[in-house]
Each structure stands twice: as structure tokens, then as C-alpha cells.
Structure 1
Amino acid sequence: MSIVLSHSAVRLLYRAPARPRYLPKFPGVSSPLKTGAPQADEVARARALLISYGIPASKLETLELLVSEPKERRRMPGIKCHVCRHELPAHALVRLDTGIFAVDPRFCALLAGQDLDYLELVEYYYELCGGYELPIEEGESYREVAPLTSCCELETFFRSMRGMHGVPQALRAVRYARDGSRSPMETASTMTLVLPRRDGGLGIHRVTMNHSIAITGTARRMTGRREFFADAYIAPARLLIEYMGMRHEEEERQADDSERDNALDTMGYHVVRIWRWAFFDTMRYRRILAKIRAEVGLRATRFPADFDDRQEALRRFVLRHWL
């Protein structure tokens, strides 16, 4: 017998600060899920394991589990069972301990499509495909980590699970996620560029994150670096969007940014900076996005009449944890 952690339990797992960074993957080939009815001792062992990874016990009062048949569902305190009779692709599970498994990050992303609202889902995919993970407890700092998956891997996995509840929502959301975000604020600002206009975004498709730009020609004499990384980059406009957090307000960092701008300008690139304080101001941020619209060549007539209201609603959503 074995149990498989799912839904909210695995979203906590993949944010747990002390979890193992390598977890063996199963199955080796595509196959149906086989579990068995969860037993109280197994559930207690799984809960203790998650607590050892740094998840507060208060967050684990109810563990969500996958079972392979309806008859395996159990109505016992502390668990919620979900039936999964779908054929699982290879490596859709990870092993935490003997008899204790969890869905892998791709499967976790799909199951999130059953729980999270659309914008929350887009935001979550940026985290899974980025270089950071949010803390479990509010008020703590995010951690820099290696990406758990990529947008391409997510889309491929979702398509392989067609027919399962949550797939349409997941496929819709992953269209607007991007690989490479290095912080929650980079995610927040990029969502306002990529999301469609009906959702308050600018609807710019060709946005890449953490984009490498090699320093060439005479620009090499203007900086000590050999490449720059753009927070967000729009290739057709040769436009870099840079989120300027508090570290950029330091005098030495401002000198580095000035060198960077000079080198990029020499190579024919343009830079739009989003200062933290401007992001938190409705009108200032609206003017920044108007500048980006002009640089990309987006005509005002292509936006709905109530776009300012939609844009503000999106800004407030992506900043909701800090407002």
C-alpha cells in the first residue's frame, strides 16, 4: 500500500525550506495510478515527514491525497481523497519515503488548476518555472532556488493528461507564464505585460525573462561585463524592461546601471525601468505602461474603453500581498 500527496499538500511541499532537493521519480513508464486505501498510520507518517521539511503543523491539518479507485476513498479526520483514474506519464510522481509519494511539480501545476483562480494560477506557474519560491508563512522572504520545471514541460504534461479536470484551466494559464523570473516582483510586473487586454495586461506575446544579451563592439569599453540579463525582454522592439527594487537605489548599483544603459544604448537597445515606488502608484505605473505601449507600437484604439480600470485591477492583484 502507498499514499500519494496531492493538491494543497504538494504546493506546501514544493515551498518547504528543508525538503530534499533531489527526489526519486516514478513510474519509469506511463502507467495507471495504483494506491490502495489510505491508512491512519501512513497518513501520520506522511504528516510527520512534511513537518520535518519545515512545514508548520497548522498548515497540515488536512492532507489531500490521490487514490486510484472510488472504493479506496476514506472519510477519516485529517485527509481529503481525490480519485485519479487517468494514465500517468512517466515520472509523474516522486518518492518521499517508503510508501509515501507525491505528485511531481508538473502534476502539482495541473492539480492547481482545480483549486486556484485563473490569475493565481498564472502567478503560480511563474514561480514553478522561475528561480524563486515563496515562503509558507506570510511576512517571510522568498528564497532563490533552481526552477522546478519549465513552461514547455508544463504544457506537454497538461496535453498528455487531456480529459482530466483542470486541464483547460491549466492550458489557458500556462500561455501567459514565462520561464526565468527571479523574484515575485519580476513576476508581478511581467504579468502586466503578458496577460491579455481583457485581463488588464498589454497582451505582448514575445516577452522572455532573464534574457541574456552579449556585449559586443565598442560597447565593451563601456562596461566590465560581457553580458547583461534583462528582467523582461521584448525582441521585436529591442526593449528591456527592468524592475528596480530597493537594491538599485544604492549609489554603487546606480553607477553600474548607468554603465549598463550606456552600453545597451550603443548597441541599439532601449530600456524602460519600473521603479518599485512607481509600481505602487496607480498613475505613475499607468504612464510607464503607456511608454512600453509606445515602444512596442501598440495603438490605443486596440484597447477596450475600460482598459484603465482593468489595468488597475490587475496591478492591485499582482501587488495584493504588499498593498
Structure 2
Amino acid sequence: MRYVCSHEDAIWYWYRYRDSGLDRAPRLARPSLDGTSSARSELRRLGLERHGVTPCPAFLLGETSCSGGESGVTRQILVSQTTSNHPSSAFYPHRWHGPLPAGFLVQIGDGLFVCTPELAFLQMANALDDVSLIRLACVLCAKYALDAKALTSREAQISPAATGLSSAYEGTIGSRQPMTCVTRLRKLLDCCESHHGRPRATKALALCGENAASPREVEMLFLATLPKRLGGFGVGGAVMNARVTPSSRDAALLDRSDRQYADIDLYWPAAKVGIEYQGRYHEDTLSEDRRRLNMLTSMGLRVLQVDNQQLLNVSTFMGTMAQVRRMCGKADLNTSTSWLVRHDELRRRLLGAGKMRL
């Protein structure tokens, strides 16, 4: 008998255990769903909790999930096309039509398997709206991590009036290698051309940003670059944490003598325009930040600085983005009533008591 952890449950598993060597575990060259079952009595004998297979918390994906809002109660499992369907309050089976792509299933125990982040992303393509799907891609490709234990224990304490993840989870953010990258996600999509979620997943990847170092950077990316139909300012072509290598003369202005580069939070290389987010920790490094900004200016780059208060203030951030659009050679944004409604909803989701807490 086989149990294949899939969809948001697989993402949650990778988020917690990736750093324990899961990314180095062998991926099955010939994955199979033979012997999968959705029978509750059979699956419980596998000792799922003992192997760390737990349902994804409801707050991970917010209102939208595969099981119609029951994420956090129902385990998401992948079954073969011929498996008898036994949906229950404990297990929600998803049928996979055709062979599984090689290399996108990992064995985690006797009879226990988990889908890779790439395969789970494709599975979620038709279960999430556009903004949530793009954000999921950004999270999978991010180089930051929230402490999973602190996240689950503190979620219930977060007030509905919380102003965003960065402030609500102060001190729980660390760095790590991304779970995947856009290249590997696209490789999976190339292997699953007939999957019904592929078109939406492909569109989401086109708007995804890699290497985010904090949730605030993802939020800033969304507001600045998402197309107007989604409520963003539509200034595409930005790169997250773009690395700039200065000349030896310019490098003397950097904050550390041993550093030979500078990373820009959000950068439009074609226009040499960037935005730097000044978080709370920057209050202790004002002198170093000024030297770094001077260095970037001497290289011919134009970099605007945005702090948390500016980001949360609608009119102030709109003024900043008007500057960015002009510096990137774009016309002023037509702030129609319909766009303002979409932008307000996007800000609520990103900066309010929003979705996608990871």
C-alpha cells in the first residue's frame, strides 16, 4: 500500500523538513501510484504523524485550498486513476491521470512518498486564484524561511488587525536555500504538457520573482510589478535581489571592506532603477546604508528607499511608484475607479490580515 502526500500538504512537508536533507533524498526515476489507497482504515496504519506527515495548516493558503476550505483537517493524497474513491473528513484523494513525471516523487518512509515542490505547485494551479498562485511560486523560490514551530503556535494569536507578516512574525525570519527555482518549475511543466493546470502555472511563473530575502520584498514586488488587472502598478521586468558588482574605486564606498558586491531588493536592469526596503534593522546601520547608496549612485543607478510606513501608506507608495514609472520610461498610471478597487483588494491581501502566511 502506498501513501503519496500531495498538494498543499506536500508543500508544508518540504517547508518543515527541507533543511534536514530532504532535498538530497533520491527522487524516483520511475514513480508509480500503483497500490495507492484512500481508505481511512488502511492509511492510518502507516503511522503518518510518526513520519511527520501532517495536514497543512489552514492559514497557509488562506481561503482557497484543494479541499474547499478544509485544509488543516483533511490530508491531501495522490491516488491512481483506478483507485477506489473514499473521500472522508480525514483524507481527500486526488486522481492523477497518466504516468507521473520521472524525478518528482521522493520516498520518506516505508510506503510513504511526498511530491516534490515542483509537482505540488502544478497540483495547486487550479486550486488557487492568480495572486495566491504567483505568491506560492515566490515562496517556493525564496531564500528566507519562517520558523515553522513559531508560525503554527503564534498564528492563533495574530490579531485580525495585524498589518502584515513582517511585523507579526518579527524575529522568526531566517535565511535558507530556496526550495526550488523557476528553471526547475518550468522543467516540471515541460514534462506535464497535458495537465489541466499547466496553462495557469505557466502564467504564474512569468510573474514570479526569485530569491526574495523577506516577505516584505515579495509584497513590494507584487504591488510594483503585477499587471493592472490584478491591482499592481504594472512595472514589469524587475529582478529581486539583483547583484551589482562595482569597480574597485566604487567598492571603497561599501559598508564592509571584504564585500565586493551589492544586492538591490527590487531592480529594473533595463532602466538601472531600483527600490530598497528599509526594515527596522536598518535603523542601526544608517551610516553604512548611506555609503552603499552613494556607491550605487556613483555607478549610475537610481535607487529609491522605502520603509514600512511608506509601504503601508497608500498615497505615499503611489507617489513612489509614480517616480519609478517615470524613471523606467512609462506613462503615468491611469488610476481608474476599477483599478483602485483592485489595488485596494491587493493591498488588503498582502499587507492586512492576509493569506499565504508563509
Partner of residue 236, structure 1 = 270
Partner Cα separation in structure 1 for residue 102 and residue 121 of structure 2: 16
Could you tell me how far apart the structure 1 residues matched to 2:236 and 2:72 are?
39
How far apart, in 1, do the equivalents of 2:71 and 2:341 lie? Answer: 36
| Aligned counterpart, 2:6 | 6
The farther-off stretch of 14-23 and 145-154 is 14-23
Instruction: Give ranges in structure 1 of 5+ residues lacking alignment.
Output: none
Q: 1:232 deviation in Å?
A: 1.3
> Paired residue for 2:134?
122
**Which residue in 2 is equivalent to 1:172?**
203
Q: Which residue of 1 aligns with 2:283?
A: 249
Give the 3-state SS of the residue equivalent to 1:73 in structure 2: coil
User: 1:90 and 1:17, CA in 2 relative to 1: closer, same or farther beyond 3 A?
Assistant: closer
1:319–1:18 distance in 2 versus 1, CA, 3 Å: same
Residues 251 and 261 of structure 2 are in contact (CA less than 8 Å); yes or no, is this contact kept in structure 1? no
Aligned partner of 2:162 in structure 1 is none
1:266 to 291, 298, 302: 298
User: Among residues 332, 335, 351, which one is paired with 1:319 in the alignment?
Assistant: 351
Q: Deviation per CA, 1:222-252, whole angstroms, max 9, x where unpaired? A: 22331101111110111121111111122xx
Q: Provide the C-alpha distance between the structure 2 equivalents of 1:54 and 1:107, rounded to a whole number of angstroms.
A: 16
The answer on whether the counterparts of 1:19 and 1:53 sit within 8 Å (CA) in structure 2 is no
Q: Distance in 2 between matches of 1:278 and 1:26?
A: 45
Alpha-carbon contact 2:239-2:267 (below 8 Å) kept: yes
Q: Are 2:330 and 1:298 aligned? A: yes
The answer as to 2:152 corresponding to 1:151 is: no
How far apart, in 1, do the equivalents of 2:49 and 2:72 lie? 7
> Structure 1 length normalisation: TM-score?
0.88
The TM-score normalised by the length of structure 2 is 0.80
Q: Distance in 2 between matches of 1:97 and 1:282?
A: 50
Structure 1, residues 166-187: CA drift from partner, whole Å, max 9, x if none?
2222112111101111111100
> Which structure is richer in relative contact order (CA contacts within 8 A, separation 6 or more)?
2
273-282 or 159-168, which deviates more: 159-168
Shift in CA distance, 321/158, structure 1 to aligned 2, threshold 3 Å: farther
- The farther-off stretch of 13-22 and 87-96 is 13-22
- Report the Cα distance in structure 1 between the residues aligned to 2:35 and 2:312, rounded to whole angstroms: 48
Identity level (%) = 22
Residues 278 and 285, structure 1, Cα contact 8 Å, conserved in 2:
yes
Shift in Å, 1:289 = 0.9
Once the two structures are overlaid, the 10-residue window that deviates more, 100-109 or 69-78, is 69-78
Whether 2:38 is the aligned partner of 1:43: answer: no
**Could you give the per-residue CA deviations for residues 260-312 of structure 1, whole angstroms, max 9, x where no partner exists?**
01111111111011211111111111111111111111102x64634344333
Confirm whether residue 161 of structure 1 aligns to residue 206 of structure 2.
Answer: no
Cα deviations across residues 53-102 of structure 1 (Å, max 9, x unaligned)?
Answer: 9989x975321111112433324551111110232222111111111001
Query: Do the aligned partners of 1:105 and 1:148 also contact (CA within 8 Å) in 2?
Result: yes
Contact 1:113–1:121 (Cα < 8 Å) also in 2: yes
Tell me which residue corresponds to 1:205: 236
Letter in 2 for 1:255: S
Larger deviation: 135-144 or 172-181? 135-144
Q: How many residues align?
A: 318
Contact 1:18-1:52 within 8 A present in 2 as well: no
Q: Secondary structure at the match of 2:243?
A: strand
User: Residue 188 of structure 1: which of 194, 209, 219 is its match?
Assistant: 219
1:28 matched to 2:29? The reply is yes
Gaps of 5+ in 2: 59-69, 159-168
Conserved in 1, the CA contact under 8 Å of 2:222 and 2:232? Answer: yes
Q: CA deviation at 1:322?
A: 7.0
